[in-house]
Amino acid sequence: MILEHAAIWTDNLEQLKEFYVQYLDGQSGEKYVNPKKSYESYFISFGHGARLELMTRPNLPDNQNDTISLQHKGIIHLAFETATKKEVDEKARLFASNGFEILDGPRTTGDGYYEFVTLDPDKNRIEITTRVQ
């Protein structure tokens, strides 16, 4: 088995699509629209591995998870791998210079990664990481 895709509900479909394309080198597919269900989505591909599906429809309830300080059970972050520590550092500078808060790092973790943590425009946690050799 392989993980085919993960999905995020959003009220900001176009903004979130642009974030994953601009900052995480994603390639967006065509927008899918189902007018009968008032549903729209994009699949974002990242060269290899699982895709990300961004979805919207009217009247979505807010998520009660506090992704910054008091995290709750369930899926809590998406991790994107770079090839080198230098690339992690470059991405951290890019995110910070564009106003994205860096929650942690860049740092070497106890389980063998070099990473930093930030938030996408919907405050979903994003890790940019590489394995330490």
Provide block-wise average pLDDT over 10 residues at a time, the chain (133 residues).
93 97 97 97 94 95 79 86 96 97 96 96 96 84
What's the CATH code of the domain at 19? Answer: 3.10.180.10
Number of domains in the chain: 2
Q: Read off the pTM.
A: 0.91
Q: Is 71 contained in some domain? A: no
Q: Is 106 contained in some domain? A: yes
- The pLDDT of residue 66 is 76
Q: Is 10 contained in some domain? A: yes
Distance between CA atoms of residues 98 and 94, nearest Å = 6
Q: Is 65 contained in some domain? A: no
- The pLDDT of residue 63 is 79
Q: Is 24 contained in some domain? A: yes
Tokens coding 66: 């506090």
- The pLDDT of residue 67 is 76
Q: Is 48 contained in some domain? A: yes
Cα separations (Å) of 52 from 19, 39, 92? 12, 16, 21
Q: Is 72 contained in some domain? A: no
Range of the domain at 21: 5-56
